[in-house]
Amino acid sequence: MSDNQSLRVSQALDNLAKTILEQKDSSSYNEKLRRLEELINMILQINSNGSKMDTTKLDSIIRDKDIEIIEKNHQRYALIPVIPLRQTTAGKHKKKNKIRCSFCNEAGHTRANCEKRLQPQ
């Protein structure tokens, strides 16, 4: 991210943290958590970076009222935990060819390798 984007994201997160701390009693907790997660995902575009918000950890931090706030360069930042998404590294599975023999009509071999055709009678 560029410095400008980082600054905008930090300011937005700071505003979100302030809003959450100021308006704790104005709406239900689950609704606030859902909106916070939605806004953070939208701001950071986390899904495109290959990570997502750790909602269980965020839930416990918000419930305990223990949001860690860091002040840097006269700006206040609230730390929000994120966890990386699982990467699906499994490649495509090669599908086994089910060739049928034109002589005996069984799967697994061709007419050239057919035991029934090659056996002397």
Helices 3-22/29-44 angle, 10° precision:
170
- Mean pLDDT of the residues in the chain: 74
Note the pLDDT of residue 24: 64
* Phi, psi at 51, each rounded to 5°: -145, 165
**76: number of Cβ within 10 Å:** 14
Per-residue confidence band for 17, with pLDDT thresholds at 50, 70 and 90: confident
Higher pLDDT: 11 or 21? It is 11
Using an 8 Å Cβ cutoff, are 103 and 94 in contact?
A: no
Using an 8 Å Cβ cutoff, are 49 and 29 in contact?
A: no
Tell me what percent of the residues of the chain surpass a pLDDT of 90: 5
* Phi, psi at 75, each rounded to 5°: -120, 145
What are the residue ranges of helices labelled H in 23-102? 29-44, 46-49, 55-63
Q: What is the pLDDT of residues 74-119, one digit of tens each?
A: 887 777 766 666 666 666 777 777 889 999 999 888 899 998 888 8
